[in-house]
């Protein structure tokens, strides 16, 4: 038989320590860039290639918090395993190997865990576990049963976040069970990253960020006025509306389209117009459009384009001086569901307070949008003379992303029941 050579990274000493000391269930809490993804790819390859199973391929599942992360692993593994792949399908999320090995991919965003039901694995890898909103249900209701047939093992990898991932971490850390092992490393434990580079990167970062993101220590994730932000990052950006496949009474597959709402903060002079799109079926921010063009016609055209794409049910727009004119123009070109918002100190505080509660209670998820995260982290509350609070960005900074988000979320904080309706584009697969 012809020998095939695969390019698999040799593990560094700390990754190897984890492998050598692994138990049945392993929780790996590390700072950024420790090498979690490289380790995960290694674990997948070893299992699918049947390295400890006389070369007979095994079944392994890779789960991650969002589609983009899953896709990265997909391409990395296609690249490594190319010579031994017999079949692959991105839509089905699977790669089949010449020796019978099988790799499944699941994005745990938007009920993705349901597609793992009914399958069995020798190994489950759950990447970015701390950022999976429904990790507890995913593991306890689905993944643990997936591992039953073959008495499979599991690896939970993530930057440290104090949620269910932390509960799992404590199982191994406190030695409550011989089956659970926990490991903790910092970015400095990756020998491929220079210490002086990390020292420079973290020099001006807040201590809480350094501890959690770089040193791999569990903090509270409370970095500003908006709490629990790190834990709220499970959403995925999209340019189109999406649908779920559900069964009708006859057992046929039917597409059920998600519903959307918009929040629009209009540019006044030197600042930005921001349109935030929330998927109100899942309460996830899925799209943000930010631009600094104050020409009314341009702004309205841009709003209309997104409106035609997502068909939002409610479009909340701030009714300042600019707003009155823009709202009129929006109505004239057929935009429906417009809700104008009059900003006063009281009304602004109310929508910002609702947003704070939403993050704190995990009712809303966002995706990694640099400007939004920055604004959320620096947003301040200032005490006014009479003792009341005024929320705003620090002087010289912007708050249009936060305001647009608060406007978009404002009708949802009151909504209890949501109906579903159909729009015209979809995305399936991984
Ligand atoms: N064993 C290894 N051999 C060679 N390079 C490695 C190894 N482990 C990690 N690296 C390199 O270190 C960097 C970080 O690795 P990786 O992406 O796996 O980290 P991570 O912990 O998943 O990071 P993040 O928190 O950003 O997801 C990458 O450039 C990767 O190629
Ligand atoms: Mg990674």
User: What pLDDT was estimated at residue 415?
Assistant: 55
Q: What is the pLDDT of residue 378?
A: 74
Q: Residue of the nearest CA to atom 9 in ligand 1?
A: 35
381 by DSSP, 3-state: which? strand
Reference 376, options 228, 240, 253; nearest CA is 228
pLDDT at 162: 75
Buried b (16+ CB within 10 A) or exposed e, 58-90: bbbbbbbbbbebbbebbebbeebbeebbeebee
Q: Work out which ligand 1 atom sits closest to the CA atom of 15.
A: 1
34 CA: nearest ligand 1 atom:
21
Ligand 2 centroid to residue 257 C-alpha, Å: 31
Taking the C-alpha atoms of residue 71 and residue 176, their distance in angstroms, rounded to an integer, is: 35
| Residue to mutate, 12, 30, 37, 42, ligand 1, most ligand atoms under 8 Å from C-beta | 37
Q: How far apart are CA 316 and CA 327, in angstroms?
A: 10
The answer, yes or no, to whether any atom of ligand 1 lies below 6 A from the CB of 374, is no
Does 12 sit in the ligand 1 pocket, CB within 6 Å? yes
What whole-number distance in Å separates Cα of residue 46 and Cα of residue 53? 9
Residue with the nearest Cα to atom 12 of ligand 1? 35
Helical ranges in 21-143 per DSSP H: 36-48, 67-81, 135-137
Tokens coding 22: 């692994």
What residue ranges define each of the domains in the chain, with the CATH number in brackets? 13-214 (3.40.50.300), 243-409 (3.30.420.240)
Distance CA 425, CA 427 (A): 7
131 Cα–ligand 1 center, Å: 18
Indicate the pTM of the whole model: 0.63
Distances 28 to 14, 168, 218, 430 between C-alpha atoms, Å: 11, 10, 12, 25
Q: How far apart are CA 336 and CA 415, in angstroms?
A: 19
Distance CA 410, CA 263 (A): 8
Count of CB atoms within 10 A of residue 120's CB? 13
Question: If DSSP codes are grouped into helix, strand and coil, which group holds residue 284?
Answer: strand
Q: Among 12, 161, 192, 213, which is best to mutate for testing ligand 1, by the most ligand atoms less than 8 A from CB?
A: 192
**305 exposure class (CB count in 10 Å sphere: 0-12, 13-18, 19+):** exposed
Q: What is the DSSP letter of 249?
A: T
The 3-state DSSP composition of the chain as helix, strand, coil percent (nearest 5) reads 35, 20, 45
348: which residues sit within 8 A by CB, 6+ positions away? 390, 391, 403, 406
276 close to 407: Cβ distance less than 8 angstroms: yes
* pLDDT, one tens digit for every residue, the chain (430 residues): 567 777 888 999 999 999 999 999 999 999 999 999 999 999 999 999 999 899 899 999 999 988 889 999 999 999 999 999 999 999 889 999 999 999 999 998 767 888 899 999 999 999 999 878 778 889 999 999 999 999 999 999 998 877 788 889 999 988 778 999 999 999 999 999 999 999 998 887 767 778 888 999 987 655 568 887 877 888 999 999 998 888 888 888 889 999 999 999 998 777 899 999 999 999 999 999 999 887 889 999 999 999 999 999 999 999 877 888 999 999 999 999 999 999 898 899 999 999 998 988 889 999 988 889 878 877 888 777 776 778 888 777 789 999 999 999 999 986 543 333 222 223 333 3
Q: Which of 7, 12, 29, 33 to mutate to test the pocket of ligand 1 (most atoms within 8 A of CB)?
A: 33
Closest atom of ligand 1 to CA, residue 30: 21
């Amino acid at each position: 038989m012809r020998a095939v050579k695969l390019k698999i990274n040799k593990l560094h000493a700390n990754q190897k320590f984890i492998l050598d000391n692994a138990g049945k269930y392993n929780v790996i809490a590390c700072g950024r860039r420790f090498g979690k993804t490289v380790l995960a790819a290694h674990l997948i390859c070893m299992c699918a290639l049947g390295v400890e199973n006389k070369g007979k391929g095994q079944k392994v599942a890779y789960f991650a918090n969002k589609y983009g992360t899953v896709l990265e692993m997909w391409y990395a593994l296609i690249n490594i395993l190319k010579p031994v792949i017999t079949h692959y399908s991105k839509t089905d999320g699977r790669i089949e190997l010449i020796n019978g090995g099988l790799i499944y991919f699941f994005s745990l965003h938007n009920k993705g865990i349901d597609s793992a039901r009914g399958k069995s694995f020798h190994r489950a890898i759950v990447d970015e576990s701390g950022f999976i909103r429904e990790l507890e249900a995913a593991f306890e209701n689905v993944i643990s049963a997936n591992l039953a047939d073959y008495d499979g093992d599991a690896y939970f990898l993530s930057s440290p976040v104090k949620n269910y991932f932390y509960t799992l971490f404590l199982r191994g850390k406190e030695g409550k069970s011989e089956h659970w092992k926990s490991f903790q490393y910092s970015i400095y434990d990756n020998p491929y990253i220079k210490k002086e580079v990390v020292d420079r990167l973290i020099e001006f970062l807040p201590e809480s960020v350094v501890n959690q993101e770089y040193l791999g220590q569990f903090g509270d994730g409370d970095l500003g006025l908006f709490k629990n932000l790190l834990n709220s990052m499970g959403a995925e950006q999209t340019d189109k509306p999406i649908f779920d496949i559900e069964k009708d009474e006859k057992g046929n597959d039917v597409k059920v389209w998600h519903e959307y709402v918009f929040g629009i903060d209009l540019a006044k002079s030197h600042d930005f117009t921001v349109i935030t799109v929330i998927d109100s079926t899942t309460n996830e921010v899925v799209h943000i459009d930010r631009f600094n063009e104050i020409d009314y016609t341009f702004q309205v055209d841009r709003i209309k384009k997104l409106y035609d794409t997502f068909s939002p049910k409610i479009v909340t727009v701030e009714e300042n001086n600019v707003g009155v004119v823009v709202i009129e123009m929006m109505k004239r070109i057929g935009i429906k569901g417009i809700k104008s918002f009059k900003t006063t100190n009281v009304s602004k505080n109310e929508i910002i307070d609702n947003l704070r509660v939403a993050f704190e209670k995990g009712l809303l998820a966002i995706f990694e949008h640099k400007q939004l995260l920055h604004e959320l982290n620096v947003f301040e509350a200032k005490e006014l003379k009479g003792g009341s609070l005024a929320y705003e960005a620090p002087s010289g900074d912007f708050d249009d992303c936060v305001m647009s988000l608060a406007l978009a979320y404002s009708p949802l904080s009151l909504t209890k029941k949501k109906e579903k309706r159909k729009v015209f584009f979809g995305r399936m697969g991984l």
